Structure 1
């Protein structure tokens, strides 16, 4: 090899290496190592819990709104069906009376009854009886016509009621469709909440569970109704956790609700395999032989209200200012309720949520 050529090659290699090193040292944009995103970032456990509670509260509000719209539409459908049946009967009755009145009139004016009456007047031995029979026939015809006219009036009124009911049902179905659309949007929020929970690390999950226990303990200390400061509860225990068995329908309702513990919350469900909050309370009281309104808002509006200090097992505690959650009081400052999606029917401190008031079914 030529020495001159070898020197040039060596110098070339050194130059190339130096250039590469210089390029490497030139400052440029930096890129983070790709990693899985942390959906919660630096949020505290309290913030996570508040976010979850907010999402599930929105879901429950939408649930009760849809349930109410669905119940109203279902009742209207039954009413409209009944009105249509009544209208059909009225129309048949009017047609029958109309035919009967027409036949009677044709018979008389064609010389039937009236012709026979004339012959009796001229040739008969008892003209007074013939006149009396003719008068009765005319009176019967007039009565038949009057009844027919009355039935026609009733039919017209029933027809108007049916038309009005049909219009109301169309409006209620429209409202139900709106609420169903809102329900679908809320299902997305439920999925978000479930995604947040499933994405929590083990330590975060442990801390969240611990926080919920602390909140429950705090709620027990806040209870000012019957059983304040009392001990534990059991199925059918009386006020104050004294162990007094709830009697009658209230006892049956409590027993039914407690027997559902462990079954999943499903919004819009009324059993027997799953429930939402008002689905549980309405099913429990129906099982006790005292049907109550379906939704928590209707239960708050339609049932007898009692003071918090007078709460007894079987009473319903309504929560939040919009009456969108309900639980059944079981004594000792505890309720049984269907809490929210992702959870099952369980017991909880009665003061664990913002109390609106107490209502008592069966009175």
Structure 2
């Protein structure tokens, strides 16, 4: 929206400049006619081009002064209509941009308040409760691993930030753009989730996947919904490291598959980028950047 607004404002400035030139040109033509001179057709041809200001030097050429003056005013009228249209479009775009920013800011405030509430609850837990939650999370993770197609390997990809991890069975190295994307995403482990963030200090789920693939030289859509809609879909059983696994029916979460039944992802507000079992959330489908 910001880019569109900038473009509209640039068009607006260009049209306003054209209006100013036309205004001066009309005055010059009127003065020439008043003095008994003529404003020629050659001048009109220049007027209707991209640089009407050059027509001033030809204002004294002979030929049909009255009709040419009418043509100037008609051109002014058309330019004024275009100026009004562009002004309205720019104003509407600015209004939409402001509303979007206000909506996002309001949503972010609500999320941050929920994070603060969750942190207060977490801080008040007894040690036994914390231990119980950790055991529950481990149990859920183990159950999720067993649901992954071809499970049986408990080894995930290498955590070496210099290269990518294994393939779906945990044994195939990744190269090329997919390897670069996986390596980049893995290098972000430990950084905090930031709603709407695209790095370098924090990311949201689709911010991480989109920046990782852009780093690999293959830009992809920014949001998880757009990634689900715009990228090539593959079957779950054929998932390869670098593929993106889209979660939930409304495609509101995404993680990058890194092999061994694992993903790297930015989970949610209040958490950091980490690895997790690929089947730990309801899977909508798998997409492959670059086909």
Q: TM-score range by the shorter chain?
A: 0.7 to 0.9
Structure 2 contact 234–286 (Cα < 8 Å) conserved: yes
State the distance in 2 between where 1:229 and 1:204 align. 31
Q: 1:157 and 1:93, CA in 2 relative to 1: closer, same or farther beyond 3 A?
A: closer
Q: Does 1:94 align with 2:19?
A: yes
Pick from 94, 112, 130: which aligns with 1:205? 130
Query: Which region of structure 1 is more displaced relative to structure 2, 236-245 or 189-198?
Result: 236-245
* Superposition TM-score, scaled by structure 2 size: 0.76
| Aligned with 1:243 (options 172, 178, 191) | 172
Aligned to 2:88: 163
TM-superposed deviation, 1:245: 1.7
Give the Cα separation in 1 of the matches to 2:70 and 2:279.
69
Residue 260 (structure 1) aligns with: 188
Superposition pairs of residues 138-153 of structure 1, within 5 angstroms: 138=63, 149=74, 153=78
- Find the counterpart in structure 2 of residue 83 from structure 1: 8
**Residues 244-302 of structure 1, C-alpha deviations (whole Å, 9 max, x = no match):** 32312x22221111111122223333221222222212221232233333332333333
- State the Cα RMSD in Å: 3.1
Mind listing any 5+ residue stretches in structure 1 that lack a counterpart?
1-75, 115-135
Distance 1:92 1:342, change over 3 A: closer
**Which has the greater radius of gyration?**
1
- Aligned to 1:359, what secondary structure does the other structure show? strand
**Bigger shift: 178-187 or 278-287?**
178-187
**SS in structure 1 of the partner of residue 106 of structure 2:** helix
Alignment size in residue pairs: 264
Which residues of structure 2 form unaligned runs of 5+? 40-60, 159-163
Distance 1:192 1:105 in 2: 73
Residue by residue over 1:175-194, the C-alpha shift from the partner in whole angstroms, topping out at 9 and shown as x without a partner, is 44244323323323222222
Aligned to 1:263, the other structure's residue is in SS state: coil
Q: 1:87 to 1:319 in 2, by over 3 A?
A: same
Larger relative contact order, structure 1 or 2 (CA cutoff 8 Å, min sep 6): 1
Q: Secondary structure at the match of 1:241?
A: coil
